[in-house]
Structure 1
């Protein structure tokens, strides 16, 4: 956990616990970012408890992260807390996003192992059995990867698949197609994630960047139990752009090549005009073509400026050193 005196994270040492005076158990901290999930909060809790009834060697510790919900999400979490002392929550002062929720949960939870799950039950709790088996085999992280996108709009699925193809070609960090944030992690792995305290977080890239012995388990897509997703097409598109900018400088290289290509073509065009005037005389008025060329060059310049501006904007947000989230209450 974070030590303000040392300005770094101290490694949490795993411990074992005795339940009922006989069974050795390990604690598993379950980080659940929530935004307007009042119907799903108790359903998720019940589903996880059913899974752990078949995992006597593990004890779940719930960490719900209330990310600016405007419904009864927090009230439902507090109701669970009245009957289960292993239910905890972090209530943000406003909505800071899922990335901040995951980071906050990993920062505050203390356990032998950690997992991140969505409250909408799109992350099947039953997979925890195979994930924990992978950890026992020596993996530092065992994650889940969707094999299909049944139930999603076709356009969203298309762009999602294209995103994985593009980013894996232009980035040195491998991002597994269909990978979810749902994964079981050891303290070593979590400490590595927390050591990357950047404000502009793209966890799928962070998980791939830190390395360690990891594997992914395939599964078929599961639709939400209740409610509507807070991820719109525009927000997913922005998230994809953030991922590309955070883990690749190829867009800057592309803009440089576009500028160089435009410059070379312009020189060739001028030479052509001069040669034509010397040998064939005169020139075509052609103001529409001139306007088109100017618009093309101006568009390339604006495109390059826009990409450069995105990188500069990321630097600007980082150097302000604002906190990733602000807590209203922790219990």
Structure 2
């Protein structure tokens, strides 16, 4: 029988998991597939793991995976994808902003021949105008800075076929930007537009500082444009300094104007110093990524893994 697995990474989501399971189980009951769900506890500090275990005890279709510590959502998601073996896999967050009921529509598109079916957000309820603006700006910046056609306004919520998952498993880089990796593997892809709901319970784990770092991760993972930009800025700064030097020399030689001293010198020094530090920072970002990759540490470590209770499925 054709199988479907749902991978749910979670960090401190104990408050909403029971409602999530109720809704996803109702979806499973409508599908003519062998369905299961894998909950991944990314080192939560609340009762997330105990709730996951209680859900597994109540439903034989539930599997649980506990990481040894908090590795971050991208690696928790990778761990989940590494531990499912199904014909199709759905990735969804536990906060119920992405409706599980849409899984049935994803499956229908998959059966039409698409290997990747992703949800595109038409609206984002419960989020500030500033967050919506920065999110939209990020996708558009990524679109211009890379050759990778990352879909706009699209998160991790998607269905992937077995061959797409197998292709994704070959990408073992340590610092991962999953939205880019999902797109990079290619294969026929389709979009389903939906309205995103507010969080069912709890608070978002993504503050603006983490979102900023996440954006840097995405840009440096799939684009060398910042390095090229640093080169362009350096060339322009050198040209401006050269022209300014000629102007100052000509004025002093022809008109006898005294060369201004301390103020103009400080402006030039601070400007060029700032440009150099910015370029070094950009280079450092890429060098840091190379350093992390060179250590070849495991992507994640597992504390416990409990598969579905096959006799109760």
Query: TM-score under structure 1 normalisation?
Result: 0.90
Query: Shift of the alpha carbon at 1:286?
Result: 4.2
Name the counterpart of 2:239: 264
Question: 5 Å matches for 1:312-331?
Answer: 312-331=287-306
Q: Does 1:46 align with 2:46?
A: no
| Alpha-carbon distance in structure 2 between the residues aligned to 1:129 and 1:149 | 21
- Of the candidates 268, 276, 279, which is equivalent to residue 301 of structure 1? 276
CA displacement, residues 273-331 of structure 1 (integer Å, 9 cap, x when unaligned)? 22112111142434212211211111010001001000000000001111111111111
Query: Shift of the alpha carbon at 1:91?
Result: 0.6
| Alpha-carbon distance in structure 2 between the residues aligned to 1:225 and 1:193 | 30
- Partner SS state of residue 70, structure 1: coil
Say whether the 8 Å CA contact 1:273–1:283 is kept in structure 2.
no
- Partner SS state of residue 174, structure 1: coil
Q: Does 1:287 align with 2:277?
A: no
| Alpha-carbon distance in structure 2 between the residues aligned to 1:59 and 1:209 | 28
CA displacement, residues 50-69 of structure 1 (integer Å, 9 cap, x when unaligned)? 122222x1232111100011
Say whether the 8 Å CA contact 1:117–1:182 is kept in structure 2.
yes
Say whether the 8 Å CA contact 2:126–2:199 is kept in structure 1.
no
Say whether the 8 Å CA contact 2:52–2:64 is kept in structure 1.
yes
**Count of matched residue positions in the alignment of Structure 1 and Structure 2:** 306
Superposition RMSD in Å: 1.1
Name the counterpart of 1:228: 203
Name the counterpart of 1:23: none
Gaps of at least 5 residues in structure 2 are: 307-313
Structure with the bigger RCO (C-alpha within 8 Å, sep 6+) is: 2
- Partner SS state of residue 123, structure 2: coil
Say whether the 8 Å CA contact 1:30–1:117 is kept in structure 2.
yes
Say whether the 8 Å CA contact 2:120–2:191 is kept in structure 1.
yes
Question: 5 Å matches for 1:1-331?
Answer: 16=1, 26-55=2-31, 57-331=32-306
Query: Shift of the alpha carbon at 1:36?
Result: 0.6
| Alpha-carbon distance in structure 2 between the residues aligned to 1:230 and 1:126 | 24
| Alpha-carbon distance in structure 2 between the residues aligned to 1:165 and 1:81 | 41
Once the two structures are overlaid, the 10-residue window that deviates more, 106-115 or 307-316, is 106-115
Query: Shift of the alpha carbon at 1:86?
Result: 2.1
| Alpha-carbon distance in structure 2 between the residues aligned to 1:314 and 1:236 | 18
Name the counterpart of 1:7: none
Query: TM-score under structure 2 normalisation?
Result: 0.95
Name the counterpart of 1:5: none
Say whether the 8 Å CA contact 1:144–1:216 is kept in structure 2.
yes
Say whether the 8 Å CA contact 1:139–1:215 is kept in structure 2.
yes
